[in-house]
Amino acid sequence: MGRRIGEFLYRHHGLEGVLYALPFVSLWAVFLAWPVGYGIYISLFKWNPMLGSKFVGLANYAELFHSLRFWNAVANTFKFAGMTIPLIIGVGFVFALMVWGWGRTHRGAGIIQSVLFFPYLLTVSIVAIVWKWLFDRDFGLVQQGINAIFPSAPMLLNSTVWALPVIAIATAWWLSGYRMVVLQAGLEEIPRDLFEAAAIDGAKGHHQFFHIILPLIKPSLLFALVLTIISAFRTFGQVLMMTEGGPGRSTEVLALYMYWVGFDYFDVGKAAAAGVVLLFMILALTLAGVKLLGLRSELQ
């Protein structure tokens, strides 16, 4: 029997690959492709199986595009992404360089790495509660410090100007550790002899950074960038817990808007439409990131 199967697979050698891929493809289809497809499908309905769903075509999208609240959420999402993506990648990169550089000449890099990575192990609720406390008007260490220097400074989490940047900083603190690990792995891949050769040729540290490190770390940078774009655009928990989208609607990002519409107003079709818009936004930005880094080959 086993021999027959072996012979069959030998004769149909393409099938063997399909069989290897089947477990992943099945899971991918059930847990990713089907939900995404179904999400797109229900975005075309006033969805309510209890009372009868009604096909409305693109009406949910039209409703969204005519809603000032939706555009406010889109704008907030872009503002938030504009702050968090450079912050997370930048801080993660600096951490990675620190740990990598320290590890070349000293012991104990693992301890530093663990400390810097630690926030990533926390859940979003803990991160949000800790940072909310730090910025509490009466008891928050950071807010008290700010008020000691600037007595008339507003409570930052209650300010339409500052609330979003504070959430962005909290998010960077939370997520930078993982980007550090990704980028550090990229740094470790760079052959040491390149640096030695460059040093012999008289290249200074900044030359080595721009002409060796940056070009060779691009694949890791792309991976970190894609992860960060996705994280930034679907940010939800920390906004819900730190400001509930306020003051007013100044921190209401798209994922939070979707949550209100879907789970609070139970307008599931409209929430699904917002989800589809978010999906395409993330997709477009990810592809833009790939193009920007000139790494088309990484996707092939």
Partner 1 sequence: MNKVWKLSILVIGLLAVVGLQVFAASPIKITFNTLFHEADAQAMQKIIDNFNATHTDVQVELTQGGWTQYYAQMKLAVMAGNAPQLGICHANKLVEMADYLTPLDNSPVGNILQMAGFNPDDYVSANWKAGELNGHHYLIPLDTHGWGLWYNKDIFKAAGLDPNNPPQNLADFINACDKIKVAGYYAFHPAEDAAPRKLRRAWYVFYWQMGGQLFDKNYTHATFNNPKGLLALQFLVDIFHDFGWNKPGSNGYDQFAAGKLGMLVAGNWYYGTAVSSGVNWGYAPMPNFFGIPYTWGNSHQLAIPLQPKGTPKAVYLAAAEVIKYISEHSHIWTMYGGHITAYKSEATNPELLASDYWTKSGKWLNEMAQKGLVHFPINNPHGSELEQAIQAQIQLAVNGQITPQEALNKAEADCNKILQGK
Q: Does the footprint of partner 1 cover residue 51 (CB under 8 A)?
A: yes
Question: C-alpha distances in angstroms, 230 versus 37, 172, 212?
Answer: 19, 14, 28
Q: Does the footprint of partner 1 cover residue 246 (CB under 8 A)?
A: yes
Q: At what angle do helices 68-105 and 109-117 cross, to 10 degrees?
A: 170
Pick 247 or 289: Cβ nearer partner 1: 247
DSSP letters for 59-85: HHHHHHHT-HHHHHHHHHHHHHHHHHH
Note whether 224 and 183 are within 8 A (CB).
Answer: yes
Nearest to 177 by CA among 237, 93, 234: 93
Q: Does the footprint of partner 1 cover residue 39 (CB under 8 A)?
A: no
Pick 133 or 280: Cβ nearer partner 1: 133
DSSP letters for 223-256: HHHHHHHHHHHT--HHHHHHTTT-STTTT--HHH
Number of residues that bind partner 1 (CB under 8 A): 25
Which one of 40, 78, 260, 293 is in contact with partner 1 (CB under 8 A)?
260
Residue 113: CB atoms within 10 A of its CB come to 21
Q: How far is the CB of 162 from partner 1 (least distance, A)?
A: 11
d(CA 270, CA 64): 7
Which H helix or E strand runs over 45?
strand 45-46
Pick 19 or 50: Cβ nearer partner 1: 50
Which one of 59, 79, 97, 136 is in contact with partner 1 (CB under 8 A)?
136
Which one of 12, 104, 137, 207 is in contact with partner 1 (CB under 8 A)?
137
Q: Does the footprint of partner 1 cover residue 193 (CB under 8 A)?
A: no
Which one of 92, 262, 269, 275 is in contact with partner 1 (CB under 8 A)?
262
Q: Per-residue contact track with partner 1, 73 to 102, x per CB under 8 A? A: ------------------------------
Q: Which residue has 């730090």 as its token pair?
A: 134
Pick the stretch among 48-56, 169-177, 207-215, 218-226 that binds partner 1 (CB under 8 A): 48-56
Q: Does the footprint of partner 1 cover residue 46 (CB under 8 A)?
A: no
Nearest to 160 by CA among 247, 64, 47: 247
Question: C-alpha distances in angstroms, 118 versus 92, 127, 273?
Answer: 13, 11, 36
Which one of 28, 263, 283, 294 is in contact with partner 1 (CB under 8 A)?
263
Using CB under 8 A, which residues numbered 149 to 168 contact partner 1? Answer: 154-155, 157-160
Residue 260 has what DSSP assignment? I
Cα angle for residues 167, 171, 176 (degrees, 5° grid):
150
Residue 46's beta-bridge partner residues?
54
Residue 54's beta-bridge partner residues?
46
Which one of 65, 209, 265, 280 is in contact with partner 1 (CB under 8 A)?
265
Q: Does the footprint of partner 1 cover residue 148 (CB under 8 A)?
A: no
Q: How far is the CB of 20 from partner 1 (least distance, A)?
A: 35
Instruction: List, in order, residues 6 or more apart from 228 with CB less than 8 Å away.
Output: 84, 85, 88, 89, 175, 179
Pick the stretch among 31-39, 74-82, 239-247, 281-289 that binds partner 1 (CB under 8 A): 239-247
Pick the stretch among 32-40, 45-53, 102-110, 278-286 that binds partner 1 (CB under 8 A): 45-53
Q: Does the footprint of partner 1 cover residue 57 (CB under 8 A)?
A: no
Q: Under the rule (CB under 8 A), what is the footprint of partner 1? A: 49-51, 136-139, 154-155, 157-160, 244-249, 260, 262-266
